[in-house]
């Protein structure tokens, strides 16, 4: 990379769009007089997949507000706006080096493999000292995860990792023992939603001048991308994010655990936190969220199953998923253990389907760039698995539709959790379910043109025959899975007529999809 000016002696600190934290390692010891902080809206990152319009708007607005907060605190920030035509992160870096002629460059390691590879190339080619620091916002370092996983692990289980993380962080611990007498209260977290229990009303955040400019930019430049841009009411500043966290802890957290698996038509969030986007882009740290949740439990404001449920998702699942990603990349991206190859149906983009559960979950995704975990896993994900959709297409869809989506967290959830495409590296059996599960956990089936109680025929819920067809298609892969022994035995005992009907219905349904 060429340098055109004499060095001014300061450090250039390059902060990526998902690193919007004041305590970021790249900002450690920043000198307000000599250093320049670089933040850039760049073409390549905004378009390597066709992100949901709200995802781009959320991130650009959060980046702009973060830059303004840094300036307010006395730092020098070079913020490159999208309309300056910066092609890529490398282009941004080159332009900033040319303009500011720094002595050195510092950055925090990228969360995605693709971007970390770029950082390594820059380190070798930039022509001045470039340091890539670890991302200390995660609880578990890469080294620690590798040590925990051991040499060439054949499979890993979140539950054991989670216990290590409880010991490491001390969350909900009483000495060496878990508070409440057990590690995991998941069993208490599968209640059906009582009809008279209302979901709390979320706070909304007014669009200010800066966000208005971002919305105009996205409307113009990303007109054909997926999703609804407005209404836009996300928190986009650190102050708003903290306000939202307070609201969640006081209002939704008490019921978070108990109704974690429930779904209700017209209620996209129920008691879920919707904190993922704020945590992943850096406006909130996972540590402060967990600290606050534990504090609420110690104060007697929330039950143990709520506090443990939330903390498990963050120090357990979130960290575990990241560990798997870095352990398995880059080959993980190409996993396809079940040789699934169907194209994504059109209704993934339009939400126009007669399957009401999918219509609701994809419709809410389109409107909000958000769906909660059970919609992602047991409705949309379950369909992708049973229908045999191509893992590459499914990965791309999940990466672009959610405002919290970055490859490090999306990929293991898609490849390992919903598609079993890694052959069960961390899921002991596939998350496959018939319509009965969706009926038990939601009110979707009551409003559907299909009949969830019917197993075969034109009116039958497609999940019912697709479930068995999936098992028939993949019999060899699951025959030896001891957790599937009972279900595979039912398959072995199934009569030929029944099998024919399942195959016929599935073929008819899948053919009309394409």
Binding site for ligand FAD (CB under 6 A): 272-276, 279-280, 310, 313-314, 317-318, 321, 372-373, 376-377, 381, 398, 402, 404-405, 409-410, 413-414, 417-418
- Residue 50 or 146 having the CB closest to ligand DLZ: 50
Cis previous bond, 309, omega within 30: no
Only one residue has tokens 């969220």, namely 289
> Residue 105: enclosing H or E segment and its boundaries?
strand 104-108
- Residue 57 or 379 having the CB closest to ligand DLZ: 57
CB atoms within 10 A of CB 446: 10
C-alpha dihedral over 464, 467, 468, 472, to 10 degrees?
160
Q: Which does 275 bind (CB under 5 to 8 A by kind): ligand SF4, ligand DLZ, ligand FAD, none?
A: ligand FAD
Q: Which residues sit at the interface with ligand SF4, rule CB under 6 A?
A: 355-357, 435, 438-439, 444-445, 448, 450, 452, 461-463
> Taking each helix axis from N to C terminus, what angle separates 158-169 and 319-328, rounded to the nearest 10 degrees?
120
Residues 8 and 270: beta-carbon distance below 8 Å: no
Q: How far is the CB of 388 from ligand DLZ (least distance, A)?
A: 29
Q: Given the rule CB under 6 A, which of 39-47, 135-143, 321-329, 432-440 is the region that contacts ligand DLZ?
A: 39-47
CB atoms within 10 A of CB 406: 18
- Report the C-alpha gap between 241 and 256 in whole angstroms: 19
Q: Which does 276 bind (CB under 5 to 8 A by kind): ligand DLZ, ligand SF4, ligand FAD, none?
A: ligand FAD
CA distance readout (Å), 17 to 108, 428, 465: 12, 35, 44
Residues 381-410 as x/- pattern, contact with ligand DLZ by CB under 6 A: -------------------------x----
Kindly state whether residue 59 participates in binding ligand DLZ, applying the rule CB under 6 A. Answer: yes
- Report the C-alpha gap between 169 and 471 in whole angstroms: 40
- Residue 153 or 457 having the CB closest to ligand SF4: 457
Q: Which does 414 bind (CB under 5 to 8 A by kind): ligand DLZ, ligand FAD, ligand SF4, none?
A: ligand FAD
- Report the C-alpha gap between 361 and 187 in whole angstroms: 25
Q: How far is the CB of 231 from ligand DLZ (least distance, A)?
A: 20
Residue from 12, 24, 36, 111 binding ligand DLZ (CB under 6 A): 111
Q: Which does 110 bind (CB under 5 to 8 A by kind): ligand SF4, ligand DLZ, ligand FAD, none?
A: ligand DLZ
Question: What is the rounded end-to-end Cα distance, in angstroms, of the chain?
Answer: 48
User: What is the largest distance, in Å, between two alpha-carbon atoms of the chain?
Assistant: 81
- Report the C-alpha gap between 296 and 306 in whole angstroms: 10
Q: How far is the CB of 84 from ligand FAD (least distance, A)?
A: 28
Q: Which two tokens stand for residue 482?
A: 């001891």
- Residue 17 or 235 having the CB closest to ligand DLZ: 17
Binding residues for ligand DLZ (CB under 6 A): 16-18, 40-42, 45-46, 51, 56, 59, 110-112, 115, 406
């Amino acid at each position: 990379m060429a340098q055109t000016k004499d060095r001014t002696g300061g450090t250039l600190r390059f902060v990526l769009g998902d690193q919007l934290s004041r305590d970021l390692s790249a900002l450690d010891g920043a000198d307000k007089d000599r250093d320049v902080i670089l933040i850039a809206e760049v073409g390549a990152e905004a378009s390597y997949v066709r992100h949901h319009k709200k995802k781009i708007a959320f991130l650009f607005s959060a980046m702009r507000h973060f830059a303004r907060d840094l300036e307010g605190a006395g730092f020098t920030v070079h913020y490159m706006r999208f309309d300056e035509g910066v092609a890529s992160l490398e282009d941004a870096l080159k332009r900033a080096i040319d303009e500011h002629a720094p002595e050195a460059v510092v950055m925090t390691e990228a969360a995605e493999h693709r971007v970390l590879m770029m950082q390594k190339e820059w380190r070798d080619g930039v022509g001045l000292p470039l340091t890539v620091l670890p991302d200390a916002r995660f609880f578990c370092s890469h080294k620690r995860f590798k040590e925990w996983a051991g040499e060439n692990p054949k499979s890993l289980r979140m539950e054991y990792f989670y216990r290590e993380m409880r010991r490491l962080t001390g969350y909900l611990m009483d000495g060496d023992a878990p508070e409440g007498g057990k590690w995991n209260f998941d069993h208490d977290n599968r209640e059906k939603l009582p009809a008279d229990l209302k979901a709390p009303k979320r706070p909304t955040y007014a669009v200010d001048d800066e966000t208005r400019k971002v919305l105009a930019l996205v409307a113009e430049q990303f007109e054909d991308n997926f999703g609804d841009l407005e209404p836009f009411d996300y928190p986009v500043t650190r102050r708003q994010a903290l306000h939202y966290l307070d609201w969640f802890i006081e209002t939704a957290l008490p019921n978070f655990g108990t109704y974690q698996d429930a779904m209700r038509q017209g209620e996209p969030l129920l008691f879920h936190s919707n904190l993922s986007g704020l945590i992943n882009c850096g406006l909130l740290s996972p540590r402060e969220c967990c600290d606050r949740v534990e504090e609420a439990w110690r104060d007697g404001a929330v039950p143990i199953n709520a506090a443990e449920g939330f903390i498990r998702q963050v120090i357990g699942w979130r960290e575990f998923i990241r560990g798997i990603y870095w352990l398995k990349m880059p080959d993980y991206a190409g996993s396809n253990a079940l040789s699934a190859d169907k194209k994504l149906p059109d209704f993934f983009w339009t939400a126009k389907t007669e399957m009401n559960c999918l219509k609701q979950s994809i419709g809410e995704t389109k409107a909000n760039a958000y769906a909660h975990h059970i919609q992602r896993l047991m409705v949309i994900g379950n369909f992708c698995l049973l229908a045999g959709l191509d893992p590459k297409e499914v990965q791309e869809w999940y990466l672009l539709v959610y405002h919290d989506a970055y490859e490090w967290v999306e990929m293991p959830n898609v490849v390992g959790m919903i598609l079993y495409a890694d052959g069960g590296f961390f899921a002991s059996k596939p998350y496959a379910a018939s319509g009965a599960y969706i009926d038990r956990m939601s009110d979707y089936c009551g409003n559907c043109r299909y009949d969830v109680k019917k197993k075969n025929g034109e009116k039958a819920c497609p999940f019912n025959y697709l479930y068995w067809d999936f098992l028939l298609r993949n019999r060899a892969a699951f025959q030896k899975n001891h957790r599937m022994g009972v279900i595979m035995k039912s398959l072995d005992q199934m009569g030929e007529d029944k099998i024919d009907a399942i195959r016929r219905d599935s073929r008819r349904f899948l053919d009309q999809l394409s």
